[in-house]
Amino acid sequence: MNIGNEAQFQIYQMRLTGQYGGDPLCISMEDWVARAREVLSPEAFWYLAGGSGRGETMRANEEAFAKWRIVPRVFRDVSVRDLSIELFGERLPYPVLLAPIGVQSILHADGEVAAVRGAAKVGLPYIVSSASTMPLETIAEKAPGATLWFQLYWSRDRDVAQSFVRRAEAAGCKALVVTLDTPMMAWRERDLERAYLPFLLGEGLGNYLSDPAFRAKLRRPPEEDPASAILLWTQIFGHPGLTCDDLDWLRETTDLPLLLKGILHPDDAEEAFRRGADGIIVSNHGGRQVDGAVPSLDALVAIRERVGREKVVLMDGGVRRGSDVVKALALGANAVLVGRLYAYGLAVDGERGVETVLRYLLADFDLTMALSGHRSLSTLDVRALARA
């Protein structure tokens, strides 16, 4: 039984088995957001839900999907679906990955470990953030069998950046994702209203405080002098002077597949591949960096047209339902990343919440594919869509 049929059956069966208690279940993104707002502090909720400026880019990401309509086809046997994809030699059951999100300890006590375990239960890769509260090694140890990638926030200190890469390799990460769009924090009005930046409170620094290169630059261990460690983090986080020459160095530093995240312009996409990137992630950081930026889906169309079909191009930003996944793949994405969606599930119900959110997304995706006349990703391209 495919995941869509199975998930539907399990939900409807809850009434027959007495598991349904009478209150509406969390099914949609909106349901999970509402429930998360009930359980999180205002600071934590808006750190997750907010964006830069007035939130124009966040809204545009979602609205971009409404510009396209799926054109269902009939007379096609879709009784059995194979929605798997191969990326960098690994066969993934679905073209969906979990985007890197830092500071997950403000969402749930088990933080990143719960999120990774939830992702592993549905077979999806999880991208560990440089800004995770738990060190990378702890996450890998407590979630054996999970498929991990590592996201690198480039540091002003190259020793720290190189140490992070070495640790990712040693922990068994399958790929390295470099975030390019956060050389500094954006003007995030919701966080500024509450003067809230969790890093300054010691959250989200697990990889830094445990890193030998970072610790070597401190006069005293962070356990004895946390204030000095946090101050050092503020001095080395981000790299406004980052150029393509730095990418040349990184390409020589690791053999891991290298993906560059935060690309929105076709010229930058071309340059990324010319400099040796194995893939790119079209992303505007979920609307958290430049307010009024181009939606990720619109940028995907232009970038795919420029770089051709053979390059690995992923995207994130605004993916909320199965139909969004179908549209993104039809417009040229090899796979999509989801971020806030699973984070709300984590806030509401930890590991089980993450698994449930992802299972419902994949079920929706599976059923949308079948009802549109597609039983594999090989038949899905722009001809499956029409402009609204």
pLDDT tens for the 388 residues of the chain, in order:
699 999 999 999 999 999 888 889 999 999 999 999 999 999 999 999 999 999 999 999 999 999 999 999 999 999 999 999 999 999 999 999 999 999 999 999 999 999 999 999 999 999 999 999 999 999 999 999 999 999 999 989 999 999 999 999 999 999 999 999 999 999 999 999 999 999 999 999 999 999 999 999 999 999 999 999 999 999 999 888 888 888 899 999 999 999 999 999 999 999 999 999 999 999 999 999 999 999 999 999 999 999 999 999 999 999 999 999 999 999 999 999 999 999 999 999 999 999 999 999 999 999 999 999 999 999 999 999 999 9
Structure tokens at 237: 């986080």
Q: What is the DSSP letter of 292?
A: T
| Catalytic one of 108, 239, 265, 285 | 285
Is 118 annotated as a binding-site member? Answer: no
Annotation-wise, does 37 bind a ligand? Answer: no
| pTM exceeding the 0.85 threshold for the entire prediction | yes
How far is CA 301 from each of CA 6, 41, 95, 351, 386, rounded to the nearest angstrom? 33, 38, 18, 34, 14
Q: Tokens in use for 161?
A: 């950046």
Query: How far apart, in whole angstroms, are the C-alpha atoms of residue 316 and residue 282?
Result: 7
Which residues neighbour 54 within 8 Å (Cβ) at sequence distance 6 or greater? Answer: 189, 291
Is residue 352 annotated as involved in ligand binding? Answer: no
Place of tokens 């926030």: 153
130 is in an annotated binding site: no
Strand partners, 148: 126
Q: How far apart are CA 353 and CA 235, in angstroms?
A: 36
Max CA separation in the chain (angstroms): 71
> Is position 76 annotated in a ligand binding site?
no
Q: What is the pLDDT of residue 1?
A: 67
The single residue listed with the structure tokens 């080395």 is 236
**Residue 73 labeled ligand binder:** no
For residue 108, the cross-strand partners are: none
- Domains annotated for the chain, with CATH where assigned, are 3-387 (3.20.20.70)
User: What was the pLDDT predicted at 27?
Assistant: 94
Distance CA(211)–CA(208), nearest Å, equals: 5
Contact 275, 39 (CB under 8 A): no
Beta carbons within 8 Å of 234's beta carbon, 6+ residues apart:
199, 200
Give yes or no: 285 in active site: yes
